[in-house]
């Protein structure tokens, strides 16, 4: 006799809701029809691109869908952050309704984090939710934004404020898509890759240290290995702390408290997120060391790796890390003060282990970490 306990059923449902299948391989779309069927997905897909990913990969992707017997509807948005808006979403809902897209369809988001976040947002809300399949084409999307189910659009009062937790059914990663990605975007994504080494995996850190140029030059097998490891770490953290309740998911924000202040000072225009994160991680390393958590040798190893990142000439000229320290602190606080909140910092115990510091830190400590980073870090320009 087989008795299925209600708790077990609940747990299974819970687990199903909490897991995405992530596939990393080149080419990744072979056998797509069978893959969709195995995952209970219909062969009816809305495919969202931005103008660049439509041009670069659109014909190839849509011809695979034809070949695999899919019914599809393509949607294209401008390739910019502003596409993560309610207006853009509203327009896309309209196109989908007109094309008779209903609950039996799914949505494939083919692009960087903008397309992934917008596509996920639309999928989470359209007809009370249809499945989303992430097909990331930037290094940042492959290793970060496409994984974990946080989907959002921006509001004029702030980034990513309106959104859902909507896990992708599948994340299909093909590192060969990165061949056309500009160098600047490679370094932007690489910041998050290195972050995983810092917060979760000392061996990955050593691997990245050894093969940094191989990866930024997109050499195989190093690139795929780095993408695989990063995606697995993000997925693991997300499964363990889906709604960011026990501080684990918050460790993904290593360097980000400083980075958000820098991005704001740069009007979210002059500095890519990953560039701000690179600079923010230098500050966070010094803060970890100055507060007595991270030893000198690890600090030096960390700074040396970050020193290998390259920035566009314009960014170096603007000397973002050399700005007035009080101004940066104020910018880091800006949206917190309104909510009467404290700044939260993720620190390192050693390379490969991070934690969210619960207690309040004196402003002087934060300013000192910025000063140390400013003195030590000399950004190099993209060749």
Ligand X SMILES: NC(=O)c1ccc[n+]([C@@H]2O[C@H](COP(=O)([O-])OP(=O)(O)OC[C@H]3O[C@@H](n4cnc5c(N)ncnc54)[C@H](O)[C@@H]3O)[C@@H](O)[C@H]2O)c1
- What is d(CA 233, CA 192) in angstroms, rounded to the nearest whole number? 11
Shortest CB 135 distance to ligand X, Å: 10
* Residue ranges in contact with ligand X by CB under 6 A: 50, 52-53, 56, 79, 81, 84, 111-115, 117, 137-138, 140-141, 144-145, 148, 150, 159-160, 177-178, 180-181, 185, 188
Set 169, 192, 263, 275: catalytic member = 192
Set 166, 228, 253, 289: catalytic member = 253
- Per DSSP bridges, beta strands 106-111 and 132-136 are parallel
- What is d(CA 184, CA 311) in angstroms, rounded to the nearest whole number? 7
- What is d(CA 330, CA 335) in angstroms, rounded to the nearest whole number? 10
260 is catalytic: yes
Shortest CB 81 distance to ligand X, Å: 5
Please report, for residues 108, 152, 193, 197, 273, the alpha-carbon distance to residue 145 in angstroms, rounded to integers and kept in the order given.
14, 11, 12, 17, 12
Shortest CB 269 distance to ligand X, Å: 13
Cβ-based nearer residue to ligand X, 21 or 85: 85
The helices-and-strands tally (H runs, E runs) of the chain is 16, 12
Contact 163, 152 (CB under 8 A): yes
253 is catalytic: yes
Which residues are bridge partners to 71 per DSSP?
Answer: 44
Cβ-based nearer residue to ligand X, 148 or 255: 148
Shortest CB 138 distance to ligand X, Å: 3
Contact 115, 90 (CB under 8 A): no
Shortest CB 306 distance to ligand X, Å: 19
150 is catalytic: yes
Residue 150's CB is within 10 A of a number of other CB atoms, namely: 20
Set 166, 249, 264, 310: catalytic member = 249
Which residues are bridge partners to 133 per DSSP?
Answer: 108, 170
Shortest CB 117 distance to ligand X, Å: 5
- What is d(CA 53, CA 136) in angstroms, rounded to the nearest whole number? 10
Shortest CB 49 distance to ligand X, Å: 9
Cβ-based nearer residue to ligand X, 20 or 145: 145
Set 84, 166, 234, 264: catalytic member = 234
337 is catalytic: no
CA 123 to chain centre: 18
Please report, for residues 114, 142, 205, the alpha-carbon distance to residue 96 in angstroms, rounded to integers and kept in the order given.
19, 26, 44
- What is d(CA 79, CA 57) in angstroms, rounded to the nearest whole number? 14
Set 229, 273, 289, 310: catalytic member = 273
CA-nearest of 97, 205, 227, 239 to 89 is 97
- What is d(CA 223, CA 231) in angstroms, rounded to the nearest whole number? 12
Set 54, 166, 195, 256: catalytic member = 256
Set 166, 195, 229, 260: catalytic member = 260
Residue with nearest beta carbon to ligand X = 113
Cβ-based nearer residue to ligand X, 111 or 312: 111
Exposed / middle / buried, residue 170 (Cβ in 10 Å: 0-12, 13-18, 19+)? buried
Cβ-based nearer residue to ligand X, 135 or 366: 135
Compute the radius of gyration of the chain from its Cα atoms: 21
Cβ-based nearer residue to ligand X, 145 or 216: 145
Cβ-based nearer residue to ligand X, 144 or 201: 144
Catalytic residues: 128, 150, 192, 234, 244, 249, 253, 256, 260, 273
């Amino acid at each position: 006799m087989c008795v299925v306990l209600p708790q077990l059923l609940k747990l299974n449902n819970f687990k199903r809701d909490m897991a995405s299948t992530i596939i990393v391989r080149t080419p990744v779309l072979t056998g797509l029809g069978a893959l969709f069927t195995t995952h209970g997905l219909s062969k009816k897909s809305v495919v969202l691109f931005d103008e660049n990913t439509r041009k670069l990969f659109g014909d190839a992707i849509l011809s695979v869908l034809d070949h695999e017997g899919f019914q599809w509807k393509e949607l294209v948005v401008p390739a910019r952050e502003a596409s993560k808006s309610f207006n853009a979403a509203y327009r896309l809902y309209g196109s989908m309704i007109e094309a008779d897209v209903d609950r039996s369809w799914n949505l494939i988001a083919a692009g960087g984090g903008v397309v992934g976040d917008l596509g996920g947002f639309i999928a989470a809300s359209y007809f009370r939710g249809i499945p989303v399949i992430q097909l990331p084409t930037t290094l940042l999307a492959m290793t970060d934004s496409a994984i974990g189910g946080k989907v959002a659009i921006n509001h004029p009062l702030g980034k990513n404020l309106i959104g859902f937790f909507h896990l992708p059914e599948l994340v299909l990663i093909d590192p060969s898509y990165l061949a056309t990605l500009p160098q600047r975007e490679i370094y932007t994504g690489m910041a998050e890759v290195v972050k995983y080494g810092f917060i979760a995996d000392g061996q990955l850190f050593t691997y990245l240290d050894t093969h940094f140029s191989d990866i930024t030059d997109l050499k195989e097998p190093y690139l795929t290995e780095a993408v695989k490891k990063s995606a697995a770490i993000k997925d693991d953290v997300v499964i363990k702390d889906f709604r960011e309740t026990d501080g684990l998911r918050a460790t993904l924000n290593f360097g980000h408290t400083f980075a958000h202040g820098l991005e704001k000072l740069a009007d979210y225009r002059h500095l890519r997120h990953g560039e701000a994160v690179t600079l923010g991680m230098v500050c966070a390393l010094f803060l970890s060391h100055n507060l007595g958590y991270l030893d000198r040798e690890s600090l030096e190893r960390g700074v040396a790796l970050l020193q290998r990142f390259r920035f566009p000439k314009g960014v170096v000229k603007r000397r973002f890390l050399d700005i007035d320290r009080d101004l940066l602190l104020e910018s880091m606080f800006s949206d917190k003060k309104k909510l009467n909140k404290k700044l939260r910092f993720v620190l390192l115990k050693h390379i490969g282990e991070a934690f969210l510091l619960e207690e309040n830190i004196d402003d002087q400590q934060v300013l000192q970490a910025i000063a140390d980073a400013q003195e030590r870090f000399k950004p190099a320009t993209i060749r």
